[in-house]
């Protein structure tokens, strides 16, 4: 599941991100907030991928 920059920037209402449970940033939110959100999301995805790899072995 990938969140593109455009997807995050286009959110009109505050929505909870299903992966990290942080509020998605408003379309009017600044770029720093969006970048921070994406970094946290990428960390969460990496953690899930590591767990899935561990299960597979």
Report residue 50's pLDDT band, with 50, 70 and 90 as the boundaries.
very high
Predicted pLDDT of residue 18: 53
> What does each C-alpha distance from 46 to 5, 27, 29, 37, 56 come to in angstroms?
18, 26, 25, 14, 15
> What does each C-alpha distance from 19 to 3, 57 come to in angstroms?
10, 24
pLDDT value at 21 more than 80:
no
16 and 23 Cβ atoms separated by less than 8 Å: yes
Predicted pLDDT of residue 36: 75
Q: Higher-confidence residue: 41 or 50?
A: 50
> Which domain, by its residues, includes 32?
5-56
pTM of the model: 0.40
34 and 8 Cβ atoms separated by less than 8 Å: yes
Predicted pLDDT of residue 27: 46
Q: Rounded to an integer, what distance in angstroms lies between the CA atom of residue 12 and that of residue 53?
A: 36
Provide the number of structural domains found in the chain: 1
């Amino acid at each position: 599941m990938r969140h593109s920059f455009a997807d995050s920037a286009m959110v009109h209402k505050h929505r909870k991100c299903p992966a990290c449970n942080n509020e998605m940033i408003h379309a009017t939110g600044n770029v720093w907030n969006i970048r921070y959100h994406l970094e946290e999301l990428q960390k969460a995805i990496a953690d899930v991928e590591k767990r899935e790899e561990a299960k597979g072995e």
